[in-house]
Amino acid sequence: MTVQSDYTPDEQNLLLRSPEAAAVAVSAASPGSDKETAVERDAAAGFVLESRQLLEPNPLVTWVQLELARRSQAGDTFPGYLEAAAAPGARETSLQTLRELAALLAAKAPAREAAGFKQFVLRTAERTSAAGKEKGGIMGIGSKMVNEHEQVILAEIAEILRVEI
């Protein structure tokens, strides 16, 4: 079992950024209005903060959830999310963060904890992608919960993290 002190401050920052990076990758893969992106941000933050009962106990996940909950009491859980999702290169920057996360977990975390944390990050992305209907016609007819671009980015995230969707 790892503990927070097993990680340097930079590594802790990477662990804390990774759920948001997965969510930003989804938002950047299928850009929508600011309102839609805010709904995606809120879905990701809600999952991160409220999923403790849904997940197998994992010290890394619990630490990230508690730290992000502490930060959210002082303001937004994911400050700067809208800007990050709209920034040039947001998709690739987010995926690079996830590559760094995968390398960190492979180097430092016990296999079971690493697998659980990767699932947590992927599930954050999945929750983000299902946050709202995408590009339907009149009154939402023909809209989809997860569009093709989101399906592609979810597959990319799963591949980077080496987990199954």
Backbone angles phi, psi at 141, to 5 degrees: -65, 130
Least confident of 1-5, 34-38, 85-89: 1-5
Please state, as a whole number, how many other Cβ atoms lie within 10 Å of the Cβ of residue 128. 31
CA–centroid distance for 9 within its chain: 20
Contact present, 55 and 61 (Cβ < 8 Å): yes
Give residues with Cβ within 8 angstroms of 63, minimum separation 6. 3, 4, 15
CA–centroid distance for 148 within its chain: 18
- Check whether 4 has a pLDDT greater than 80: no
What is residue 144's predicted lDDT score, i.e. its pLDDT? 59
Domain span at residue 130? 4-161
pLDDT in tens, 138-165: 545 455 578 999 999 999 999 999 999 8
Contact present, 47 and 123 (Cβ < 8 Å): yes
Q: Count the domains in the chain.
A: 1
What is residue 9's predicted lDDT score, i.e. its pLDDT? 95
pLDDT in tens, 49-86: 887 766 678 999 999 999 999 888 877 678 889 999 99
Phi-psi region of 56 (alpha: psi -120 to 50; beta: other; left: phi over 0): beta
